[in-house]
Amino acid sequence: MTQATLIDGKAIAASVREEIGRRAQELQAATGKRPGLAVVLVGEDPASQVYVRSKDRTANELGFHSVKHTLPADTAEADLLALIETLNTDPDIHGILVQLPLPGHIDESKVLRLIRPEKDVDGFHPVNVGLLNAGERDHALVPCTPHGSLILLKRTLGADLSGKTAVVVGRSNIVGKPMASLLLAESCTVTIAHSRTRNLPDVIRAADIVVAAVGRPEMIRGEWIGKGATVIDVGINRLPAPELGEGKTRLVGDVAFDECLDHVGAITPVPGGVGPMTIVMLMANTLTAARRQLGLPEDKPIF
């Protein structure tokens, strides 16, 4: 018996995208300027190529100024840094995104630290990380995947999450840590769990909200999740699927989805849950960055 509500990330992303399109048009009507986004891809990772194409296409569809830089896998770190310096001073570019992962010979942290914090639409620069952790979220640029996950939670549970217990499984800089900061700022009681957490099933079972971001296919079993909990599955794991044909693959999350359906309150599917929110929140951040750089007041937050 299915009792869980499916959280439709595609539909929610579409409604957020519409709102961003409206706001971008207002910006252009008021200032003659379009939000400008530069996306940088180094190498030929097939998934990264898909994501970068999708970012560029979405930006164009929303009427943004969009520039895509595709560099070969053996690009010298110094050349990538020089490109970022150029984008940092380009007045038509309000947001810079370097697609991750970068090839192994490039120091990722050095690259991310060079992006001007006000153009850091990924929210990975230490200034933006610090603002978020200091409770100054309204002055930061917030990482796209956790920000999108928070919107999914609010659309499902209502705007007030205060007092809820939340477990974030995974402690990455891209998802786990910023997700925990966002939930703390919403006055949730937050636990960050990880591979060395003792009694992980019991820790997860006690939570009203479970955010899974470990990058291990279906590691979190249905019986680990409490009755009525809300589950946000950030994992996108590609597994071989010979049953679909030779060489075919299928996507699964970090949560064993089917095992949850008879007892959780709501859950995001994979695909079609958190993923679509990531790109739309990049557009939201680019618009926010453009407004700030043009000296305009903040728009109201998107929820």
Ligand X SMILES: Nc1nc2c(c(=O)[nH]1)N[C@@H](CN(C=O)c1ccc(C(=O)N[C@@H](CCC(=O)O)C(=O)O)cc1)CN2
The residue behind tokens 């809820």 is 164
Contacting residue, 270, 280, 284, 287, with ligand X by CB under 6 A: 270
Transcribe 9-40 into DSSP letters: HHHHHHHHHHHHHHHHHHHHHHHS---EEEEE
236 annotated among ligand-binding-site residues: yes
The residue behind tokens 């939670």 is 153
Q: How far is CA 105 from the centre of its chain?
A: 25
170 annotated among ligand-binding-site residues: yes
CB of 51 to ligand X, least distance (A): 4
CB of 275 to ligand X, least distance (A): 2
For residue 236, state whether it binds ligand X (rule: CB under 6 A): yes
Contacting residue, 37, 38, 51, 178, with ligand X by CB under 6 A: 51
CA distance 264 to 223: 10
For residue 272, state whether it binds ligand X (rule: CB under 6 A): yes
Q: Which residue is nearest to ligand X (CB)?
A: 275
Cα four-point dihedral sign 207, 212, 213, 219: positive
For residue 95, state whether it binds ligand X (rule: CB under 6 A): no
For residue 144, state whether it binds ligand X (rule: CB under 6 A): yes
48 annotated among ligand-binding-site residues: no
Select the span of 71-79, 163-171, 180-188, 264-272 touching ligand X (CB under 6 A).
264-272
For residue 122, state whether it binds ligand X (rule: CB under 6 A): yes
For residue 178, state whether it binds ligand X (rule: CB under 6 A): no
CA distance 206 to 210: 9
Among 131, 160, 258, 264, residue whose Cα is nearest residue 210: 264
CA distance 26 to 92: 17
CB of 41 to ligand X, least distance (A): 10
Q: Indicate which residues carry an active-site annotation.
A: 55, 99, 122
Select the span of 77-85, 163-171, 276-284, 285-293 touching ligand X (CB under 6 A).
276-284
Instruction: Return the beta strands (E) in 219-292 as ranges.
Output: 230-233, 237-240, 249-252, 266-267
The residues binding ligand X (CB under 6 A) are 51, 97-100, 122, 144-145, 236, 251, 270-272, 275-276, 278-279
